[in-house]
Amino acid sequence: MTQTFRPHVVIVGAGFGGLSAARALAHAPVEVTVIDKRNHHLFQPLLYQVATAALSPADIAGPIRAILAGQKNARVLLDRVTGVDVANRTVSLANAGPLAYDWLIVATGARHSYFGKDHWGAHAPGIKTIDDATAVRHKVLLALERAETETDPERRKALLTFVLIGAGPTGVEMAGAIAELAHRSVSRDFRSITPHCSRVVLIGSEPRVLAAFPEDLSAAAQRAIEALGVEVRLGSKVTHVAYDHVEIGEDIIPTHTAIWAAGVMASPAAEWLAAPCDRAGRAVVDSDLTVPGCERVFVIGDTAACVGPDRRPLPGIAPVAKQQGRYAAQAILARIAGREPQPFAYRHYGNLATIGRKRAVIDFGRVHLTGWLAWVLWSVAHVFFLVGFRNRLAVGWNLVWNYLTFARHARLITGEVEASAPEDRRLAA
């Protein structure tokens, strides 16, 4: 009996875009291989809640194999892609060697960008992965623990100062969550830390917070975050980050907890494909999300430089990646059937950002929402889009519990607790 040929679709990356593409091919006459260097899909919009001890990592992540277990035409490889040979249609894997494809979807996401100051990353970590979030949680909680017993007033003040660099959604959400953690959640459990001991500073280079939102929502977000006790410094550029301080020009802020939320850089996919890229390293794609001159390679999500109807770059948010993933799958099926797909058209449903436990801002276009109602809608949306019933139940319950009690149940300092840094290290740049 002759076996029917089934085209092989390789998807690199199991984030929002890659997973959406894989699921859209569930009943298609193709073979799907999903490759990721981690074994789990991560709901990145709630990573900051892991970093601030409101959620555990397992609440916002799920094994890729379990998510795709019911999809008979899909297999999952835990491996790292090191390159792509477009001419021979192969993907180079670190462990398994070359893997042939008929169609390729690259959805490898983005990483932190320190704008040429990569050494700042050792002192100001960002949050893109579970490892990042747990490292930030370790840093924040350890600073509080050490402040409890610190007798030097200046060092104690630095330990209780938290600096967020970047006033976009991640920076604003982190600042609000840390303010609630430091001012309300932990002050009841410590004996020498009171709600007025801690200082949270949000630094942004733009003239307003949430610069991508309309001005009225941006102003509302700033009022809300300042009501939580956050010090907002806008139009300011960080000029140096060290172990024990952050510099803004001549101004020095002593701190042992700086967190980066100021910029991202795309994965090296554009280099693999020898494709043109923008300043953030994102591969420039055609209207059908393919690399120019190569109709069998799609680039989506944070890896792609794609413009919307207004000719402005599409934002690096989950809805963009998910819609692009579904489109790439449909475009592949159309071309297999001998049809030419329509250009990709992004449907924007709104922007959301939360500020603390009962404040949020939502941009629905003509409709703008703020305050408690916006927070409820933000919570419902984020719970709904989580993968898996268990995750939805866990996160939903924790959001309700945290709202009622201010409790942070995931306040675990994991890993080895290093000794306090010696004086010469603390003062080193």
Of 64, 73, 62, 83, residue with least CA distance to 29: 73
Domain boundary among 336, 365, 380: 336
270 shares a domain with 225: no
Confidence band for 403, pLDDT divided at 50, 70 and 90: low
Dist CA 220 CA 6 (whole Å): 53
How many structural domains are present in the chain?
2
173 is catalytic: yes
Dist CA 98 CA 96 (whole Å): 7
End-to-end CA distance of the chain: 71
The whole-number pLDDT of residue 119 equals 93
397 shares a domain with 355: yes
Of 396, 401, 403, residue with least CA distance to 381: 396
Dist CA 354 CA 172 (whole Å): 8
3-state secondary structure of 195: coil
Domain boundary among 303, 336, 369: 336
Domain-embedded: residue 42: no
Of 407, 408, 355, residue with least CA distance to 227: 355
Non-local CB neighbours of 259 within 8 Å, separated by 6+ positions: 51, 124, 125, 126, 127, 136, 139, 162, 163, 164, 165, 174
- Judge contact between 302 and 337, C-beta under 8 A: no
129 shares a domain with 108: no
The whole-number pLDDT of residue 350 equals 87
pLDDT of residue 426 exceeding 50, the answer is: no
Mean pLDDT for the stretch of residues 283-306: 93
- Judge contact between 263 and 166, C-beta under 8 A: yes
Confidence band for 185, pLDDT divided at 50, 70 and 90: low
- Dihedral over alpha carbons 13, 17, 23, 29 (to 10 degrees): -80
Dist CA 235 CA 243 (whole Å): 24
231 shares a domain with 363: yes
Non-local CB neighbours of 125 within 8 Å, separated by 6+ positions: 132, 135, 136, 139, 259, 260
380 shares a domain with 252: yes
Q: Compare 221 and 348 and report the one with higher pLDDT.
A: 221
pLDDT of residue 1 exceeding 50, the answer is: no
The whole-number pLDDT of residue 194 equals 75
Domain-embedded: residue 62: no
Domain-embedded: residue 341: no
DSSP run (H or E) holding 89:
none
Q: Where residue 324 sits, what CATH number does that domain have?
A: 3.50.50.60
Residue of 31, 145, 150, 173 marked active site: 173
230 shares a domain with 154: yes
Mean pLDDT for the stretch of residues 216-220: 96
HSE-up (13 A, CA, CB side) for residue 354: 22
Q: Provide the strand spans (E) within 330-367.
A: 351-354, 360-363
Query: CA distances (Å), 263 to each of 53, 170, 278, in order?
Result: 23, 10, 14
- Judge contact between 109 and 303, C-beta under 8 A: yes
Q: Compare 310 and 221 and report the one with higher pLDDT.
A: 221
298 shares a domain with 251: no
Confidence band for 266, pLDDT divided at 50, 70 and 90: confident
The whole-number pLDDT of residue 428 equals 42
Q: Compare 297 and 187 and report the one with higher pLDDT.
A: 297
Mean pLDDT for the stretch of residues 22-49: 95
The whole-number pLDDT of residue 251 equals 94
For the whole model, what pTM was predicted?
Answer: 0.90
276 shares a domain with 258: no
Dist CA 150 CA 171 (whole Å): 28
pLDDT in tens, 66-113: 999 999 999 999 999 999 999 999 999 999 889 999 999 999 998 888
3-state secondary structure of 200: strand
Domain-embedded: residue 46: no
Non-local CB neighbours of 163 within 8 Å, separated by 6+ positions: 124, 201, 203, 246, 253, 255, 257, 258, 259
pLDDT of residue 344 exceeding 90, the answer is: yes
Mean pLDDT for the stretch of residues 248-277: 92
pLDDT in tens, 302-314: 999 998 877 788 9
Confidence band for 429, pLDDT divided at 50, 70 and 90: very low
pLDDT in tens, 150-172: 999 999 999 999 999 999 999 99
Q: What tokens does 229 get? A: 């006790």
Which residue segment(s) compose the domain that 187 sits in? Answer: 118-262+351-414
Dist CA 178 CA 161 (whole Å): 10
Confidence band for 421, pLDDT divided at 50, 70 and 90: low
Q: Which of 126-130, 349-353, 389-393 has the lowest mean pLDDT?
A: 389-393
The whole-number pLDDT of residue 420 equals 61
What is the number of residues in the chain? 429
- Judge contact between 385 and 319, C-beta under 8 A: no
Amino acid 332 reads I
Domain boundary among 336, 364, 393: 336
Classify residue 157 by burial, with Cβ atoms within 10 Å: 0-12, 13-18, 19+.
Answer: middle
- Judge contact between 237 and 141, C-beta under 8 A: no
Mean pLDDT for the stretch of residues 375-398: 83
242 shares a domain with 166: yes
Q: Is the dihedral of CA 162, 167, 172, 174 positive or negative?
A: negative
243 shares a domain with 122: yes
292 shares a domain with 158: no
- Judge contact between 344 and 324, C-beta under 8 A: yes
